[in-house]
Structures are given as C-alpha cells and as structure tokens.
Structure 1
Amino acid sequence: MAATVLFTITGGEVIPEIEMAVSATILELKKKIESVLNLKAERQTLRHDNEELNNDRTIAYYDFKKNVATLVLHFKPLSGKPKFDITVKDGDDEFNVKVKESTSIADLIKKIDKCTGYSIKYMNLYHLSTKIEEEDLPITAYYISEGSEIEVKYVRFY
C-alpha cells in the first residue's frame, strides 16, 4: 500500500484533490478539507462506496484499493438559516455581501451586479479558482460559506 492516498472530493461544483498519509485519521482529512473549502470539519460527512467514513479511523483502515480514491462530501446546513457575509473581490476593490446558504447563484449574481453596477454578462465569478456557472444551484454547491471569497473577473471583448 502507498504511504499516501490522493483523494478527489466530489459532491459539489468545486472538486479539490487532497493528498494525505495513510496514517492520518479521517478527522485529520476533514480538517484538511476545512482548510481548503472553509467548511467546518464537524459539518462534514465523507462517504466512499456508500460507506460513511468514521472520524476515529485511519485512512489505512479503509484499505483503499488504489493510491487514488474518490470521496463524496456532504455537509450539514447551518441551523436557523442565518445570514452571513462573504467577500467579493473586484480588482482592488473589496466588499461584503450578506447571503444565506439557501441563496441561489442567480440571487448572488444580482447582489453583486447591484454593488458593482456591471451586468453579469461583463463578468465571471470564481470561488476557489472554479468558475461559477450554474445559476440555478444554491451557493453551497460551490461550497460558498461564511467567510468565503468570490473573485470577479471581467470579460474582455475584442
């Protein structure tokens, strides 16, 4: 067995790859995912082949057949549907937008349009280096949560 496993984390539109030592626990993997996706470890559930992975077990315990594995990430919604701020970076400018986890990408775009004064047809939005494209999805599909940063890149027409 390899000393490390490369995990592809699916379940949303952002699909990070995370390498971990086989001696690490699933909780340590979740903390690594937290550092990448800004999604608290205690809100995460990881599944492999329909089996929920236990925080206390090591990666080696699950005996992944290859040194590459795909995990499905689910996360618990925040209770009470609270509003929170996300940061939008528009070149040198930066501003906050209040959203809920149930906010759709389309509604987020409207909020950003209102703040920038530009139509979305002139800009692309990115979160975690992934272009935000599916307007009918909730922001959680892109793992946008409290403290997340959205980057605005303007489309150039030639």
Structure 2
Amino acid sequence: MVNVDEVVGTVAKLNDDDVEQFLFDCLENRFGREKLNASDYRFTWTLPPGYRVLTPTVWIESEVFNGGAGQYFWNRLVDFDPMTKDAIAAYEMIGATAQAASLRDCLQVFAPLELECRRIKDREVDGFLEWMEIWDGLKYLGDNPLFEYEKISAKWRIP
C-alpha cells in the first residue's frame, strides 16, 4: 500500500516543471503514452479534474512554444475546439487570466482562417508550410502570454 502522505510530501518538494512531469508520468504509467498522445481529445474527459486542468494547458503551451498558435491549430485541428475550451476554463480556474484572455483572442483570430486550414491540411508538409506562411503573415502577437509560459504561467503551476 502506498503512503499518500509520503507521496504528497515528496511531490511538494519538486519544482513546478518536475511536478508537471510527475503528473504526466503518472498518467503515462497508468494509461500508456499512445493514449495520452492520441489526437482524440475525448480520452482527456475521462481523467480526474486536476489532470483535465493540466492536459490542455500543457499541450497548448508546448505547441505555442514550438511554433506559435498557428502550429497549435494546425496540429490539433481535429480537436482544438474542446481542448481550447477546456484550456480557457483551466486557466481561469487557476487564476491565469492573461492566458485565458490570450487563448480567447487566438480563437477569434483563427475562426475566419479555419476553413483555409482545413482545406490545405491534407497536403501534409507543404500544407503546413503554406499554413504557417498565412499565420505568420498576420504578424500576430496575441499568443505571447502563452509563448512566454515559463515567465508567466510557471507561477500558476501547482506548488
């Protein structure tokens, strides 16, 4: 039997990034990496509320950090809508209002471009390059609060 107090005490000593990694390691250990990385977001809805706060915010921050909000929408086109809604709610739940507002703004910018993104999605790499040219052409900076996640949202992570 696992002593919960010992686990909590150990986790409390970890820095924010390590806590985040610990939680994902727990999920991976229980469900497997393939299920966690699947493009079908419905699995996330089966997780406890705490993980449902973590999962969409980390996915979005990772995508934005790697290539901006345009990359997030391209890579998660199949499930961006529920994931983004969950992420906005999660950011609000943890008090990260700048990130919630930024994500709402990203959605408004993406909305008129969604059909174009879907139209070129099947062109794989060429489509992605064309999409990023479209997105980058906007010179959009509204995703900065998400991009600067280490500076801004790190303070909102689980202590």
TM-score by length of 1: 0.25
Which is helix-richer, 1 or 2?
2
TM-score by length of 2: 0.25
Structure whose CA Rg is larger: 1
Which is strand-richer, 1 or 2?
1
